Amino acid sequence: MPDSAEWIVLAAGFLAAVMNSVAGGGTMLTFPALLAAGLPGVLANTTSTVALFIGMPGSVWAFRKKIAEVKYWMLPLGSASLLGGLAGGWLLLRLPSSLFDAVVPWLLLFATSLFVLNRPIQGWLARRRGSRLAPEASHPKSWGIVFQGIVALYGGYFGAGIGIMMLAGLSLLGLREINRMNALKSLLGLLCNAASVVYFIAKGSVDWRLAGFLIAGSVPGYFLGSHFAQRIPAAAVRSIVAVIGLGIASYLLWQRFL
């Protein structure tokens, strides 16, 4: 029978998958759950990334028709995502774990802030999409490829909040139609995480026992979250995730400095 820590990880996997289906932010549940189960910071992060990867191909598949409409964006931005995700994963495992432990509270605060600001950012993106001052771009600019590489680097290192960063970048690059943007965001996120997941597995940086509990919880969570996504108030889910993220970051800062 699972012990209390394993039940917490199982529940976190389920809730994280539901949240990812409805509003995003699942990492802010699985990462602290793995910390509570006794994993060190780096291993908790890599295990969370590997376990939650299972739901990403389904998100891309759901946008398969729209992805064909952004085919000229796929190669340059996809390449940047793969290389950036791999570089971020490499840095995570090569740099001292004490550095990750030192910056993770700030990364959580950053990710939670992006999460809280999601609605105003989405409003800005909507206003930009509504602007007819310029036609929709047909391909990304060079600076956009560099920007996506930096986002993917962060994604491979920690990852929470990259979705909203990618949407903002794609809007600045000239995409207007939200479904195309979400399709490309899902594909780029998949590629970024695929690179880091393969690297983490190859380096043996996964606690497969706890990853199994996360996966066991996330499979029904993704199914129910996708099924009931239109019935669950996204604002309520976002509020819960924001409170959890701020609370955990504050606790980690308190532990570190007090």
117, 48 Cβ separation under 8 angstroms:
no
Q: What is the pLDDT of residue 15?
A: 86
Q: What is the model's pLDDT at position 108?
A: 78
Domain coordinates in residue numbering, the chain: 4-257
pLDDT of residue 230: 54
Whether the Cβ atoms of residue 256 and residue 108 lie closer than 8 Å to each other: no
CB 155, CB 48: distance < 8 Å: no
DSSP labels, 83-119: HHHHHHHHHHHHS-HHHHHHHHHHHHHHHHHHHHTHH
DSSP H helices in 131-207: 142-157, 162-172, 178-202
CB atoms closer than 10 angstroms to residue 238: 19
Whether the CB-CB separation of 193 and 155 falls below 8 Å is answered with yes
The amino acid at residue 78 is G
d(CA 91, CA 151): 14
Nearest CA to 122 among 225, 23, 1, 229?
23
- In 10 A of CB 248, how many CB atoms? 22
Distance CA 51, CA 46 (A): 9
Which three-class secondary structure state does DSSP give residue 82? helix
Mean pLDDT per block of 10 residues along the chain (258 residues) reads: 82 84 74 90 93 81 80 89 96 91 82 72 65 60 88 88 79 76 86 94 95 90 68 65 73 70
Residue 44 and residue 107: Cα distance in Å, rounded?
A: 14
Can you tell me whether residue 130 is helix, strand or coil?
helix
First and final C-alpha spacing in the chain: 37
CB atoms within 10 A of CB 51: 29
Q: What global pTM score does this model have?
A: 0.80
Longest alpha-carbon distance in the chain:
61
